[in-house]
Chains A and B, each alone.
Chain A
Amino acid sequence: MKKIKLLLCFVVALSACERIVDLEIPSDNPKIVVEGQITSQSEPWEIRLTMSQPYFDQSDLNYVSSAEVRITGTDGADVQLIHTDSGYYKSELLQQCIPGETYTLYVKYDGENYSASEQAPLAFPIDTIASYYLPDNNGFIEKGYYVFIQGKEREAEGDFYLFNAYRNDTLMDDFGSNLDNDEFGSVSFLNENFDINNIVSELSKGKTPRPFPFTVEPGDTVRIEQCAITEQHFYYIFDIEAQLGRSGTPFDPPPANPNNNISNGGLGYFSVVHKEEAKIIVDK
């Protein structure tokens, strides 16, 4: 889309087609914002609570430190989360959610009660992780080393994934959408139809796997987290990304708030994910 925009700008000779303007827009009262994710891996459960603020208010983020936070599960879990710092609430012990069970977050703050529920999804582990060298810029990505994975979808439709890729422990989060669903399964990050045993021969035919679209160097450690997420969570991220991608072209989506799962008008999302990981050290 960036290139299309570039082309459009060229067409109309828009060298300075964009600028910051002053607008006096309305403001609503601050609302609580939940950012939380619990996973199938054994780790402390942690969520963050902050407050929304007027759009042009450039002051620091207002975090909530005096809320009561609890997560319960249909598996019998009942976990208290304690405020640590900057709006983060954490469980004392390691916790783990079980696929198929439903978990509910309860937040009590300033006399108001908020809750959010999700059922933990299920997914297969990642089969293989590999890297390859792309000798030329192919129009979408530059030449260089790339990492990709291979895995299996569950047969039934309705798998939704979010991939997090870490290069030497740094989250690579500006490569565009890292969402994937099985609507166009065979072109997903799971590369079900790429012959991973004959990478060189596949590449020589002009075929490529779908890699994580950032270059790496030999010696780098790349870790991929495959998070199976719920459909609602998938569209929440999808809609948020669409809104963040506004660029003033006619392709922009109409302004809309994503559908979340926080009751009582809270913003943000509480998610329950099934997480699988794979790691590779890139070689030549």
Chain B
Amino acid sequence: MIKTAKIYFLLSILLACQSLLFAQEYTISGRVKDAANGETLFGATVLVSSGGGAITNEYGFYSLSLEKGKYTITYKYLGFEDIVKTIDLVQNKTINVELMAKANVIGPAIVNAKSLEKKVENKKISVVKMETAKIKEIPVIFGEVDILKTITLLPGIQSAGEGNSGFNVRGGSQDQNLILLDEATVYNASHLLGFFSVFNGDAVKDLEVYKGGIPAKYGGRLSSIVDIKMRDGNAKRFSAIGGIGTISSRLTLEGPIVNDKSSFMIAGRRSYADIFLPLSSDESIRESKLYFYDLNMKANYELSDKDRLYVSGYFGRDALGLSELFRINWGNATATLRWNHLVNEKMFVNTSLVYSDFNYGFDIKFAENASFGLDQAINDIYIKSDWTNYLNPSSKLNFGGQVTYHRFNPGLFSANNEDSRLIFQDIQLEKKKALENGLYIDHEYMHSKRLNMRYGLRVSSFSNIGGSEYTYTKNLETYEPISSLTIRDSFSSSDFYNTYVGFEPRASISYNLATTLALKGSYNRTFQYIQQASNTASAFPTDQWFSVNKNIKPQRADQVALGIFKNFDIGLETSMEVYYKWMDQQIDYRDNAQIAFNENLDGELLLGKGWAYGAELYVAKTEGKSTGFMSYTWAKTMRQIDGISDGNPYVANFDRRHNLSLVFTHKFSKRLLATASFVYSSGKPFTTPVSKYYYGGDWNAEYDQIRNNYRAPAYHRADIGVTLKSKEKLNKKYKSNWNFSIYNLYNRDNPYALYFREVIVDDLEKNPGAIEGNTAAFQTTLFRMIPAVTWNFEF
């Protein structure tokens, strides 16, 4: 009831605002699209001669309310020809525009930049936007386009390490990033245990990453939002793009359903490393399975001038197995149904119904009477509605809400066949249910040409529904729950027995000192109610998601960021940002925690504080034959949790003090493009032994009580890539290109893991001088130099 009352209250305020502003004004609205394929353009600017303007939203929609009169309106989008329209505004007008891509666009830079004199204004603090076209120019491992790996080149976003598609944003853990694909949460963005991310570059239109200044519209994660949008599909003609790469092959088909009105896109990708497995001399490898595939689908249909439906989905799966003895497979499935509706020229609303599922399974067969499986899953269904009221050219009001129903299956351990069932009773860890809500209002306001602001409030809530909860008594020395003192409380299946509410104010402000110089600042508070239990260095599909409850309070973060943005006439964009973040209820694990398949998982957790601060520097050259950028981040990430490091502050696992990326692209001719990049980051912190002791016939390590007392050697690497395009023929739609790349050009032996053990016989050959039985430090390296070739086509 209280919730409904709140909604009415908000709505009445909105309506009041609107009626006040109904002066003698008319509205120009419409969509901006790409003339070549009908894809809507997100972030295109619509400039009015007398000042002011609008930016298209993610559906290409814009709305501008102006007083009666004559105007010249310019539509702009980077890499496209401007369109100028002169209008006499005497009534509301719908103007849909299609922009033509510029011929011979010189390889533009990574981060989307609007027209030069405007871009300082348009850049939001702590937000980066990338288009796949640019991402495709940067080589990544095995020549695969990988949008998540590429964003880690940007300031403030650190890769969680090689062979891991996770990333850390401004001192946040990997599960504090909300990854959205067409509004659907993607719980595990990794293929092949993290070597690749699940996003097919051909299916993705663009992505935005919010490291801070997170608008009130988004919620549910502490550190960042990665908002990925799939392409709508070519609305003009049928076309196909695809490629054959070192690891996977891709094919995307797209075309109009009804010309210019509706389109579809279907993109598939599959790896084929497993094709070579039968060639192995090792029998167990010959019988192994190892592959991933993913499928992106999207279609849209224009119901009327005011209504448009979108349906999109993702399905991906990984399988890894040793004949029938051992198998592991996991994957995400998402589906989004969206309805764009124009209430009137000034009011745009999108309502979405979203389904998201991640599940993971593991099978092991010892014998006919000993064959078992483990299954875990998280499953969400949610409805959300986002409204935008274009009050006037300087004011925009966004509001809406979301209701999410979460279901968690923490684990079912079951017998896989009749004979095994005879001796083994299935163990189902109790399934959990929860409801998460969010309601927000957000105002974007341009006070003057100099001063812009955006401020809002999100109110979130989370309720555990039914089931049981445990209360723990912990051993004061080891923080281990004492099992005989664990008390269980049960609640009926419809009982909302525990509810948390969070108020999340968000604000950002921008002050232009000159057209090319701006100061910006932001503050945001975020809450997070679900998280991933991960106690190893990298996040795995096997790491289960779990929610807050009576024992675990919601995570909370407050972040402030300040930035200065300056552009130079020679085509240089620069920015510097500093941030400080306070985090509460941060999760770590007691020593020797048992987090896999543990009904009393929360008893293994330790909660405490975190704080992070840093400075980010970014310089990009966006024009000319040579383009590129340099990003440098200095960052410090700390945690203080009772029970770890004797309660003293310690450096977080993902603290990397220095991070540097350099990306340089040169266009030699219309057909030949070369890219070179270099990355450097400080080594991972880890805990070393301080002594060894002999027990049980082995040398054992006694580890330092100080967590992360040591830092691994630094990580650095250079990559190069060359793209050779086919000759362009007039009136021929067919195009192709070859991409050659070398990963880790100078064959750097980067540490993947460092660990300590006794030298065994097998080590002697590779380590001359080593003595069996001695204790030593070992390093594993994942990727040395790897050349790759990819052939891409489109028609």
What residues of chain A have their CB less than 8 Å away from a CB belonging to chain B? 3-4, 6-8, 10-12, 14, 16-23, 25-28, 30-31, 33, 35, 50-58, 61, 138-140, 173, 184, 186-187, 193-194, 202, 205-208, 210, 235, 237, 239-240, 242-244, 246-259, 267-269
Contacts and interface: CB of A to CB of B under 8 A. Distances in A.
A52 B704 CA distance: 13
Given A16-B766, A28-B702, A33 B591 contact: no
Residue among B282, B478, B756 facing the most chain A CB atoms (10 A cut-off): B756
Given A187-B370, A206-B367, A253 B535 contact: yes
B494 interface: no
Contacts of A259: 477-478, 480, 591-592
B767 A19 contact: yes
B591 A257 contact: yes
Contacts of A54: 691-692
A239 B593 CA distance: 10
Interface in B267-281: 273, 280
Nearest to B767: A20
A248 B752 contact: yes
A255 B688 CA distance: 8
A244 to B, nearest CB: 6
Given A33-B694, A186-B424, A12 B782 contact: yes
A244 B755 CA distance: 10
Contacts of A269: 695
Contacts of B771: 58
A258 B323 CA distance: 36
B419 A55 contact: no
Contacts of A23: 688, 710, 754, 777
Contacts of B540: 250
B423 to A, nearest CB: 4
A55 B695 contact: no
A31 B694 CA distance: 11
A244 B700 contact: yes
12 contacts: A14-B780, A18-B778, A20-B777, A20-B778, A33-B694, A57-B692, A207-B419, A246-B757, A248-B753, A253-B536, A256-B592, A258-B592
Contacts of B285: 6-7, 10
B370 A208 contact: yes
Contacts of A240: 695-696, 700
B689 interface: yes
B755 A20 contact: no
A252 B419 CA distance: 33
A239 B687 contact: no
A27 B757 contact: no
Nearest to A205: B368
A68 B480 CA distance: 32
B537 interface: yes
Interface string B296-329: 0000000000000000000000001011011000
A138 B367 contact: yes
A15 B767 CA distance: 14
Contacts of A61: 694
Interface string B131-154: 000000000000000000000000
B778 A256 contact: no
B424 A53 contact: no
A248 B775 contact: no
Residue among B290, B477, B695, B704 facing the most chain A CB atoms (10 A cut-off): B695
A22 B752 CA distance: 15
B241 interface: no
Nearest to B367: A208
A252 B536 CA distance: 7
Contacts of A12: 163, 195, 782-783
B780 A18 contact: yes
B319 to A, nearest CB: 12
B778 A19 contact: yes
A26 B688 contact: yes
A249 B753 contact: yes
7 nearest A-B residue pairs (beta carbon): A206-B368, A248-B780, A256-B591, A28-B690, A207-B369, A52-B693, A193-B423
B492 interface: no
Contact of B770 (A20, A55, A246, A258): A20
A96 B517 CA distance: 84
Contact of A58 (B193, B419, B774): B774
Contacts of A52: 691-693, 702
B709 A187 contact: no
B776 interface: yes
Given A11-B192, A12-B163, A19-B767, A139 B323 contact: yes
A204 to B, nearest CB: 10
Interface in B670-710: 686-698, 700-704, 709-710
Interface of B: 163-164, 192-195, 273, 280, 282, 284-285, 288, 290, 320, 322-323, 325-326, 365-370, 419, 422-425, 477-478, 480, 535-538, 540, 589, 591-592, 686-698, 700-704, 709-710, 749, 751-757, 759, 763, 766-767, 770-771, 774-783
Contacts of B192: 11
A18 B757 CA distance: 12
Contacts of A3: 284, 322, 326
Residue among A19, A30, A268 facing the most chain B CB atoms (10 A cut-off): A19
B749 to A, nearest CB: 8
A31 to B, nearest CB: 7
B589 A20 contact: no
A187 B423 CA distance: 8
Contacts of A57: 692
Contacts of B759: 20
Contacts of A193: 422-423
Contacts of A257: 591, 702-703
Contacts of B775: 55-56, 58
Contacts of A33: 693-695
Given A17-B780, A20-B770, A184-B424, 8 more contacts: A20-B763, A25-B690, A55-B688, A248-B752, A248-B780, A250-B164, A250-B540, A255-B687
A241 to B, nearest CB: 9
B288 A17 contact: no
Contact of A254 (B282, B536, B700): B536
Nearest to B696: A240
A47 to B, nearest CB: 12
Contact of A239 (B194, B592, B780): B592
A4 B326 contact: yes
Given A23-B754, A252-B755, A208 B424 contact: no
A250 B753 CA distance: 8
A21 B701 contact: no
Contacts of B778: 18-21, 248
A187 B419 contact: no
A21 B777 contact: yes
A164 to B, nearest CB: 11
A57 to B, nearest CB: 8
Contacts of B280: 10
B689 A206 contact: no
B692 to A, nearest CB: 5
Nearest to A8: B193
Contacts of A50: 693-694
Nearest to A18: B780
Given A16-B766, A58-B774, A187-B423, A27 B781 contact: no
Contacts of B690: 25-28, 55
A194 B698 CA distance: 35
A242 B593 CA distance: 11
B273 A254 contact: no
Contacts of B193: 8, 250
Contact of B697 (A8, A139, A173): A173
B276 to A, nearest CB: 9
Contact of A140 (B325, B536, B756): B325
Contacts of B751: 21
Contacts of A207: 367-369, 419
Contacts of A55: 688-692, 701, 756, 775
